[in-house]
Homo-oligomer: A and B are copies of this chain.
Amino acid sequence: MVSAQRASGRPQVTSHGAIEAAAFELFAHRGFEATTMDDIAAVLGVSRRTLFRYYPSKNDIPWGLFDASLLRLREFLWAVPAEVPVFEAVQRAVLDFNRLDEGAIAQHRRRMALLLGTPTLQAHSVIRHAQWCRVIAEYVAARYALSPEDMLPRVVGRVCLALAMSAYEQWLEQDDGKGVEELLERSMAHLRHYLVDGDPVP
């Protein structure tokens, strides 16, 4: 799909980037559900059929570069030195995964608001979340010499996801300048206090 070197044959008439831009424009204007694939195709001057060759479904459009991010998460984890405790490694990786360039914040906020605020997209995100959890679980399993199908790695993956989702939720709802990273640490602190001290942290 992404041709690094010039192949022969008919050149592509559009790109993932162009589609994403056009789609987000329409989503912001009419909402996700009310925007049809025909609408997006019309804006781009492309056939509906072609759109489905770039994105397997309408739900996949807002996710953009998620696959690449997953790869980065995996590489980050496996590059952590073995001296670092597992918990530390995972914590750092999750924070790194959600680190944002200053200029990318606004766009990322729009994207996440769409993903978290649209029922259809919430549902579809299960697949992506499962992939994300699996990356964590595989690393944890390796470090503890367990199988990725064992319970502990899966629990860790799912709990990390739970914390990350809670952090993003707060990030989208508040307007003060708290960053995702800070909120992530906050969510972890909440969980710790809940499990250990039995009393909430302020």
A60 at the interface (CB under 8 A from B): no
Q: Of the candidates B123, B152, B187, which one forms a contact with A155 in the assembled complex, judged by CB atoms under 8 Å apart?
A: B187
A163 at the interface (CB under 8 A from B): yes
> Looking at the complex, which of A25-33, A39-47, A193-201 is the stretch in contact with chain B?
A193-201
- Interface pair B86/A156, CB less than 8 Å apart: no
A162 at the interface (CB under 8 A from B): yes
Identify the A interface with B (CB < 8 A). Answer: 85-87, 119, 122-127, 130, 144, 146, 149, 151-152, 154-156, 158-159, 161-163, 165-167, 169-170, 173, 183, 186-187, 190-192, 194-196, 198, 200-201
Expressed in whole angstroms, the Cα–Cα distance for A99 and B119 within the complex equals 30
Instruction: Collect the chain B residues with CB atoms within 8 Å of residue A152's CB.
Output: 190, 194, 200-201
From known contacts A170-B151, A187-B151, infer whether A198 and B162 are also in contact, taking CB-CB under 8 Å: no
Instruction: Collect the chain B residues with CB atoms within 8 Å of residue A166's CB.
Output: 151, 154-155, 158
Closest to A141 in B: B200
Instruction: Collect the chain B residues with CB atoms within 8 Å of residue A163's CB.
Output: 155, 158-159
